[in-house]
């Protein structure tokens, strides 16, 4: 098997790395969090001292990082991946960043003979842990096929959606649907509660019909149990929606509903809830209606 470098061992990257190790891949890891690196060393990974060092020891370099500026720094700056990667190696950025940045990075790497796929994921921490992520990929067909065994160690599905940047565009579309869905669920449950009908019974009644969705099943039980530990924090999701709106403005596509969800997220962040799960969108509506969605005692 090819030797894989993995940079970014956060809430998603750490379990994804562990699944690569379980699948038998050799791994070199790096993160500014030394405890995360030590934990992966204990599971059998080799520690790198910098992105450049990781790249010099790897055939495939995966990044899972917070945002566009961090990805550009790790991949393109001094001591970055571009300085250590060999010609013909492949970078797989699995972060959620702006498509134009994905294309810019791919062009810079190509000048050094380094291939790139943008391959953001959906599924949050639970699916990162159990290896069932959905992986959306942009890049060359041959590179995608070469990386399929690696993707299968981390996800239940991997789909090539087009050329460079297409994976990032697909992730933006995913984030629109997910967050509008969460907001719709939150509105519905708060309305039901205010009208005197138990949200849990509403959920049970509608989940088998047209209103049923993966979001409904994943988020309603957590809302009812008041569990808002981040699988995807509002801070990270607001970053994704900011990328959605920036991209839509550049290409002239109005997204009024998505803009509304962004304002909800900003209000929650202003109330100190940025590190809560995006299911905490329900708390915005609860505050307006002066009710709390929850299970009956």
Closest CA to 96 of 51, 64, 61: 64
Q: Looking at residue 123, what DSSP letter applies? A: S
Cα torsion through 53, 57, 62, 68, rounded to 10: 20
Q: Which residues pair with 7 in a beta bridge?
A: 30, 63
> Which one from 171, 193, 219, 239 is the annotated catalytic residue?
171
Residue 30 CB: number of other CB atoms within 10 A?
Answer: 27
Residue 239 known to be catalytic: no
Q: Looking at residue 48, what DSSP letter applies? A: P
- How wide is the angle at C-alpha 165 spanned by C-alphas 139 and 91, nearest 5°? 55
Q: How far is C-alpha 189 from the chain's CA centre?
A: 26
Distance CA 238, CA 270 (A): 12
Q: Which residues are catalytic?
A: 171
């Amino acid at each position: 098997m090819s030797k894989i470098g993995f940079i970014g061992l956060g809430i998603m990257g750490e379990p994804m790395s562990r699944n690569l190790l379980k699948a038998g891949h050799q791994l070199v890891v790096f993160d500014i969090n030394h405890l995360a690196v030590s934990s992966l060393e204990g599971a059998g990974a080799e520690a790198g001292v910098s992105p450049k060092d990781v790249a010099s020891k790897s055939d495939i370099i995966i990044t899972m990082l917070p945002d566009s500026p961090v990805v550009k720094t790790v991949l393109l700056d001094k001591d970055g991946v571009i300085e250590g990667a060999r010609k013909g190696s492949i970078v797989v950025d699995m972060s959620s960043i702006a498509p134009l940045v994905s294309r810019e990075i791919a062009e810079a790497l190509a000048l050094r003979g380094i291939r790139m796929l943008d391959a953001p994921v959906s599924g949050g921490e639970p699916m990162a842990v159990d290896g069932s992520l959905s992986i959306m990929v942009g890049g060359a067909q041959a590179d995608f096929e070469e990386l399929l065994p690696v993707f299968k160690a981390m996800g239940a599905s991997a789909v090539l959606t087009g050329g460079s940047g297409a994976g990032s565009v697909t992730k933006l579309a995913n984030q629109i649907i997910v967050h509008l869905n969460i907001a719709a669920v939150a509105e519905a449950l708060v309305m039901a509660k205010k009208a005197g009908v138990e949200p849990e019974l509403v959920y049970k009644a509608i989940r088998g019909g047209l209103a049923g969705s993966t979001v409904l099943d994943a988020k309603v039980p957590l809302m009812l149990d008041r569990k808002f530990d981040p699988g995807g924090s509002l801070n990270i999701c607001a970053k994704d929606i900011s990328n959605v709106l920036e991209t839509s403005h550049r290409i002239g596509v109005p997204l009024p509903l998505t803009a509304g969800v962004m304002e909800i997220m900003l209000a929650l962040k202003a109330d100190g809830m940025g590190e809560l799960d995006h299911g905490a969108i329900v708390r915005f509506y609860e505050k307006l209606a002066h009710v709390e969605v929850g299970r009956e005692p």
